[in-house]
Structure 1
Amino acid sequence: MPTVRDNVSYAYTRFMLAHRRAVRHFVKSALALIAIALLLETFLFNVNFFLSAGYNTISLDDELTLQQTDDGLYKLTAVNHTLEFSDLNTEVHNVHLDFDHEQPAQELTVKIHFTDEAHHTYFDSTEYTVGVPNVEVSTLSSQSEYINLNTTGLVQNLRIEIVGDEVSYPIRLAGLSLNAHHPFDFNTMRFAFTLGILALAFAFRPGSVIYRIGIVDAPRRSKAVIIAAVALEMCLLSSYLFLGSNLVGVATKDYNSGSWDGVSLVNVFEVGGDNAQQYAELAKAMAHGQLYLEEEPPQWLQDMSDPYDKGARDEAQKETGEEYLFDVAYYDGHYYVYFGVVPVLLFYLPFYLLTGANFPTAIGVLVAVLAFVLGCSALLDRFARYHFKRVSLGLYLLLQIPLVMCCGVLYLLKFPTFYSLPIALGLSFSVWGLYFWMKGRTSAAPERWYLAGSLCMALVAGCRPQLLVLSLLAFPLFWRPYITERRLFSPRGAREFACLAAPYLVVAAGIMWYNHARFGSFTDFGANYNLTVNDMTKRGWNIGRLAPALFAYFLQPPSATGVFPYLQPAPFDTTYMGQTIKEVTFGGIFACLPVLWILPFSRRILKLRISQRSTRTIAGVIVVLLIGGVIVALADAEMAGILQRYFADFSFMFLAAVVLLAFIVNENLPPGSTTQTLLMKVLLVLVALSVLYSALLCFVPETGWYSDIYSWAYRDIVETAQFWT
């Protein structure tokens, strides 16, 4: 009887006989990519190490006029935080501020002036020139402590000043030197990122084998690669969420250790302040048999004739000193949560009943986003395998990546708060609902698939009602079999249709009861009673708000600078002479996501599809997606305003339409033809630019994010990207 070793050896031999050439090519390619990444990390990304190797280092410790500590360190204080040196008469290539790494970490803004052969006095910005910019230095980031200077000839005078109002003094300085030797820094994260970019470029190059592997012709190979790619995406998304530890709300011995209880393997804690605990507080209230929050509104709020006027609320709060809850619904003397109730029933209430603790919202956002990625990939695979014949593995992956990464979920992970959770969960339920519907359309017994799909789609109403627009896809998906072919009027067809409709009726009944129990109306979700920056009860619908919103959501170009992460908040101006609700945004999707530039050709592509098919299912799906995206964007603008997280409400619809349009074009091109190769090249450029924008947006510093809370640690990310500074 053969042993396990014999079986393994036999399997290996058979595999190598069949795939020896491919394995050798893969190994050679992998080694080549690793070698290139190593060379880049060693020589290019450590260019300062080689440039500074020949510098003559000059220590200025003896010229420091600072108070010293008992252990020989220098102290920068609120009174004395300026260092000035005269008559240096030497070349200066860099300044090394050697801060004590044992002190509390903080990010410092350093202002440097110097005189050289081109400037006999200190110079600064003027109307026509820009002086030496301020530089950010972290007391815990060694790389940021080396500041390269671009001087002319010999430097005479040098002035270094710590500026800013939020500096925590004293600052402990171990020493200061000029022309320091920059240390060699092999950054494993940068090496891995570089290797990943090289691997992607190699995998998606025009001559890659992935464009010759058909989704339909090679189901096992394509599914294996797709599963691996999706798993990698999920790991990257999870890593990014846990990077922003200030918003995660879970602690271990090594992660968020300051909030670790010292006993549990993992414990949860509250993040984001009182306003961020709405869902958790609602779960507690439900556990105690009520639908309003347990916290009592202040008496002055209950006595106000118009509690929804923010200015009046703020004045009353100043007079009484009693605070109120912001961004909750207030009705008939109680606080309510107007956000969809499904996240509470799915996460918070069970978690509270089991543990007595608040469910960490960020984990819910992560679960929802990962479920969205899985559902989105499965749905795309379903369309590719059952409605098209020539979709290659390369085309699938080339379109799946922007569909997942550019639809706004990355921004939801950047701020994984209770604002993001309903959107992420609504998207997740939507893609899985569509997948189950699509599965049922080709099943011999579709009832269970229809029930599951409609239940997912109906639950969207309890998460993000705007996304119910995706339920309109039922018309192109089911119109022909149940209406045109009159299957609805057969006993089996009626049973199947009942499975499609029943979950909507059940969920609608539950939500209507929930609304009526709170606000006395079956259709009132409570958003109008929100205690926010404007009076929602009087907001209404005004066509004047649409033009600036459509520009901001769709057409506004991104605002960029030459400093990492390059993107900046987009400027906003409007002629609407009323109150506009506007948070920071970074450009419209049609300007920032070049992959959407396929949409202007939609009409011609749809005509081509309709001329070739007796059924119009795919064409109908595309039309509904495009119309639905516009409707949701307009609804968001009218009901709430212009906010970056709202891009996730509608971006997926346009991206999904682009995917199907690209599939149609590919279907009509001869495999391996010059035209198809050109299509792949164009798509590759458009996708790369779209993903690059979305990735950079992840690292734009914003209030409340990692860059704000842990600015000293964020500096390491900047130094990793800006290796030449």
Structure 2
Amino acid sequence: MIWSVIVPAVFFVLSLSMMNICDKRFKKKKEKNNTLKMLIFSACLTGGAMLLLSAIAISNMPNGKSGISPIAATLTCTAVLGSVLVKRYDAPKLARFLKGCAVCACVLFAAEVLLFNGKSFTKQALDQTVSSADITPGANAADNGDGSYTITGDSYLQLSNLPQETRVISVKLSTDKNSNPFDLTLGLTDGDFTINPVTVQHKYTRGQDCEIMMSFKPFGDIRKVNINILHSSLPVTVKDIRALSAAPYHFSLLRFTVLLAIAALLLAIKCFKLYEIGYDSKKRSHIIAVAVMTALCAMSAFMFRYPDAKARDYTGAEKFMDDPYAMTLDAFVKDLDYLDIQPDEKLLQMEDPYSIDDRNALGVSYQWDYAFYNGHYYTYFGVGPVIAFYYPYYKLTGKFPHMASANNFFAFFGILFMCLSMLALIKLLKIKKPNLVLLLSLLPASTAAMGFWNLANEIDRYTLPSVSGLCFLMLCLFTGMTAVTTEKKWLKPLLLVIGGSALAFSVSCRPTTAFGAAVLVPFFVGILLDKKQKLTFRLAQAASFVVPLIIGAALIMRYNSARFGSAFEFGTAYQLTVNNIKADRLDLTKFPAAIMHFFLQLPQFKNAFPFFASTTNPMENYGSYSYTAIGIGALVLPLVTIGLFFLPEAYGPKTKELTDRRRRQFLTICLVMPVVLAWLEFCLSGYITHYVFDLTPLLTFAAMIGIFRSCTAPASQKRRYILSGVSMALTMVFTLCIALNWFTGSLARHFPQLLEKAEDLMIFWR
């Protein structure tokens, strides 16, 4: 409680000192005595409120002696006394801002004690350790003799003779750092369900030396409580089980600070009318703001850095079967056009090795999802990541990189080039002063919508081609768009060479991703038809882009021919996978299913935090087998949906101006190409999350144009402005929830306790 008195008193003294200093520099607007009275009143009122809240916590909540946070009290007093002090000087906007911050800080401070910790109010302060005599372990649960239990499989601990005022069970868990998240549920028998326990709480946790609180509301008498641990990949140790009458009180400084920062940001936008500021690419402050946001977006890739991504020693004898790109590099080093893997003799003798039923019937040992052709193993995955990252890494270090390192590398640069592409697009389409706040918000929202966070999180052999292909696509778009707009003639060919090379690399990573470069076609055609430039210069520009692309395509076709005897065969037809890929054909009857999966498929709603997960929703009327796995539709992303809702504004009235024609052509490609790609991919490959991210870049670009053109006058378009901002925030939150629910992802491994911490911050009512 002492902080409730000390902090306001200290800030009162500091405020007086600041007032005396400022009075010497600024013209006084009111009498000093009035300001002094207001400072005294505000300090006393703030201190009294803090003292009352602290007393409520101490007297009515378990562990309430932790009281209030001195840092939160400091921030609150800063806002309150600052709002009083600034009224003395001629700064009306700042005064409104600080007043709003003061109100928000006081409300959040009270909410932290009374609302967010409301579940801790109790008249009976029960905190009792459950005795071992009252714990009955189930199968796969062993008593360690020291009050702890080790769970080695799906099992439970049954608690009996609990005090009737028990409303919370506290469990301390510990497990190996490599454990995947598992299900922790609470089953209850009471006056309603007397025999079979009913599940009253369900949580996901990694069990990394954490304490989990699970609340329940019994009907009548408590009979027994089961603590169930399900789907754990490694042994889990359960210790210190406690029965409490309410969850322990905890003033969350993190939650208070985050909410106050969000409130302050929104107040700053309103009070200083930041929503009226249009982005000026020549203004230094705008350049710095966008550069900082671009850097933050790019560095967000490191949130997904895999903690154990260490380089691997290489002598030539290793078989990195978990990494087809490492095996391809191994073949390069050994000057082989096939992988150095000896196939099973049974596989060599099979008439149709691509039939999974025949392989299983004969008991054939084979490498899953590798390509098999003419007695040798190959990889059908694009060679781009090997050339761009694996091979240079090996030459520099003498070691083979971890796949996660490659994924993180391409995610970082892909996000960087994406931000640069969006800025280049603004200039290319001559979008007049797009709203600065929306632009700064759009960059991280697009990082989420285009799939970079998902691809950085779900690291495996299938996502690396997507994230690397996206990286090179964004580099191609950035350099291509910049080449069209730059006035430096010497720079145009250089940028086009880089763009053409990047597109070739994108094709070598994942050909379907490279289709996004089609949006450059109208502008490149415009270069060729621009009669203001000499024909030789126009042809030189075309050659600068096309020649590297042709060279890259020729090398890819030569590589394909050397392996499979066909320039256009990447090896997908020879996959040893779930079905015979040769059975996949283009089929117009699958068009509705493709639209449903790629655009409309909803996430799975779960009863435990983070509540959203990618889902499998196969249909039964495809007419033939189609591979379908977990994923979400592109239109589930709020940014894409809201942005496309503004399409009429994006297209605008039809005029004869060249810029308008180019914008309309660009938008048409952004809308048509994803539909075509969805159908092609569903027919030839099927459906899974990372396939959707071949579509989202173009859809996000279209959404961006719609939002900017619909919010040209935010003062009179408040609903559109707010709706656009909310859609961006929801897209980021939704994407992170999906990432959190991918329990084996790099985000969960990088931050082992993030799942529990995030739930404690957000789900405060239970």
Q: Same fold (TM over 0.5)?
A: yes
1:113 is aligned to 2:180: no
Q: Which residue matches 2:224? A: 158
Spell out the pairing of 1:199-210 with structure 2 (5 A cutoff): 201-202=266-267, 205=269, 209-210=273-274
Query: What is residue 326 of structure 1 aligned with on the other side?
Result: 368
Q: What do residues 656-688 of structure 1 show as CA deviations (whole Å, max 9, x unaligned)?
A: 01212333344xx5x45513x333123123323
Q: CA deviation at 1:578?
A: 1.8
1:422 aligns with 2:486: no
- Given the alignment of the two structures, is residue 495 of structure 1 paired with residue 540 of structure 2, yes or no? yes
Answering whether residue 507 of structure 2 is matched by residue 431 of structure 1, we say no
Distance 1:372 1:516 in 2: 30
Structure 1 residue aligned with 2:286? 222
User: Does 2:519 match 1:444?
Assistant: no
41 and 520 in structure 1: CA distance in 2 versus 1, 3 angstrom threshold: farther
- Structure 2 residue 425 is matched with structure 1 residue 383: yes
Please say if residues 111 and 163 of structure 1, whose CA atoms lie closer than 8 Å, have aligned partners that are also in contact: no
The residue identity in structure 2 corresponding to 1:231 is A
Residue 650 of structure 1 deviates from its aligned partner by 0.7
CA distance in 2 between partners of 1:640 and 1:517 (Å): 24
Summarize the Cα distance change of 1:365–1:23 in structure 2 as closer, same or farther, 3 Å threshold. farther
Relative contact order, higher structure (CA 8 A, sep 6+): 1
1:304 Cα deviation from its structure 2 partner: 0.8
Matched, 1:461 2:507: yes
The answer to whether the 8 A contact 2:348-2:375 is kept is: yes
Provide the residue aligned with 2:690 in structure 1. Answer: 645
**1:256 maps to which residue?**
none
Determine if contact 1:429/1:457 at 8 Å carries over to the other structure. yes
Q: What's 1:693 paired with?
A: 734
Deviations 1:290-348 (A, max 9, x none): 121111111111111111111112222x3x6xx31111111111111111111101111
Residue of structure 1 in register with 2:125 after alignment: 55
2:347: which partner in 1? 301
Structure 1 residues 609, 362: closer, same or farther in 2, change over 3 A? farther
1:523-534 map, 5 Å: 523-534=568-579
Identity %: 20
Q: Classify 1:102/1:183 alpha carbon distance in 2 versus 1 (closer, same or farther; 3 Å).
A: farther
State the alpha-carbon separation in 2 of the partners of residues 468 and 77 from structure 1.
Answer: 49
Q: Write the mapping of 1:281-680 to structure 2, written as runs, cut at 5 A.
A: 281-316=327-362, 318=363, 323-385=365-427, 387-441=430-484, 442-445=486-489, 446-483=492-529, 485=531, 487=533, 490-568=535-613, 569=615, 571-586=617-632, 588-593=633-638, 595-599=640-644, 602=647, 605-608=650-653, 610=655, 613=658, 616-666=661-711, 669=712, 671=713, 673-675=715-717, 677-680=718-721
Q: Deviation at 1:420? A: 1.4
Query: How far apart are residue 467 of structure 1 and its match?
Result: 2.4
Q: Distance in 1 between matches of 2:524 and 2:176?
A: 66
What residue is the counterpart of 1:95 in the other structure?
A: 169
Task: Calculate the aligned-residue CA RMSD, in Å.
Answer: 4.0
Kindly state the Cα deviation for residue 139 of structure 1 after the two structures are TM-superposed: 5.3
In the TM superposition, residue 187 of structure 1 has moved relative to its aligned partner by: 6.6
Work out whether residues 113 and 122 of structure 1, in 8 Å CA contact, stay in contact via their aligned partners in 2: no
Contact persistence 2:639–2:728 (CA under 8 A): yes
Which one-letter code corresponds to 2:399 in the other structure? Answer: A
Query: AA paired with 1:287?
Result: V
The structural deviation recorded for 1:53 is 8.0
Query: How far is the alpha carbon of 1:396 from its aligned partner?
Result: 1.7
Change (3 A) 1:398 1:156: closer
Structure 1 residues 310 and 157, CA gap change in structure 2 (3 angstroms): same
Indicate if the aligned counterparts of 2:638 and 2:730 stay in contact, CA closer than 8 A.
Answer: yes
1:32 and 1:218, CA in 2 relative to 1: closer, same or farther beyond 3 A? Answer: farther
**2:211 is the alignment partner of 1:143:** yes
- Counterpart code for 2:354: Y
CA distance 1:156–1:662, change in 2 (3 Å): closer
Give the CA deviation at 1:382.
2.2
Task: Tell me, in whole angstroms, the C-alpha distance in 2 between the residues paired with 1:157 and 1:341.
Answer: 62
Kindly tell me: are residues 285 and 82 of structure 1, through their superposed partners in 2, closer, same or farther at Cα, counting changes over 3 Å? closer
Change (3 A) 1:694 1:610: farther
SS at 2:563 equivalent: helix
1:186 shift after superposition: 4.0
Match of 2:113 in 1: 43
8 A contact 2:188–2:224 mirrored in 1: yes
Measure the CA separation in 1 of the matches of 2:652 and 2:548.
35
For 1:346 and 1:206, the matched residues in 2 are separated by: 46
Q: Is the 8 A contact 2:173 2:207 kept in 1?
A: yes
Looking at structure 2, the residues matched to 294 and 509 of structure 1 have their Cα atoms a distance apart, in angstroms, of 25
C-alpha separation between the residues in 2 aligned to 1:123 and 1:69? 24
Distance (Å, rounded) in 1 between the aligned partners of 2:176 and 2:234: 14
Helix, strand or coil for the counterpart of 2:366? coil
Q: Which one-letter code corresponds to 1:279 in the other structure?
A: Y
SS at match of 2:187: strand
Q: For residue 715 of structure 1, report the CA deviation from its aligned partner.
A: 4.3
Residues 460, 467 of structure 1: 8 Å contact kept: yes
Q: Which residue identity does 1:234 align to in structure 2?
A: A
Deviating more after overlay: 415-424 vs 221-230:
415-424
1:177 aligns with 2:243: yes
CA contact 2:328–2:386 (8 Å) conserved in 1? yes
C-alpha deviation, 1:403, in angstroms: 2.1
The counterpart of 1:85, out of the listed 140, 157, 160, is 160
Q: 1:167 to 1:347 in 2, by over 3 A?
A: closer
Q: Which amino acid aligns with 2:292?
A: A
Deviations 1:503-553 (A, max 9, x none): 112111211111111111122111111111111123222233332221011
Give the Cα separation in 2 of the matches to 1:692 and 1:143: 25
- Displacement of 1:102 in angstroms is 11
Q: Deviations over 1:110-162 (max 9, x none)?
A: 4432324xx3834656xxxxx53555676545431x32121245x35234354
Q: Given the superposition, is the C-alpha separation of residues 37 and 472 from structure 1 closer, same or farther in structure 2, using an over 3 Å criterion?
A: farther
Provide the rounded CA distance (Å) in 2 between the counterparts of 1:53 and 1:274.
Answer: 61
Q: 1:3-28 deviations in whole A, cap 9, x for unaligned?
A: xxxxxxxxxx9xx99xx969967995
Q: Alpha-carbon deviation of 1:224? A: 0.5
Unaligned runs of 5+ in 2: 1-21, 27-89
Contact 2:599 2:636 in 1 (8 A): yes
Contact map agreement 1:85 1:158 (CA 8 A) in 2: yes
2-structure distance, mates of 1:305, 1:571: 34
AA in 2 matched with 1:641 = G
How many residues are treated as equivalent by the alignment? 666
Cα offset, 1:230, TM superposition: 1.8
Aligned partners of 1:53 and 1:142: how far apart in 2?
Answer: 27
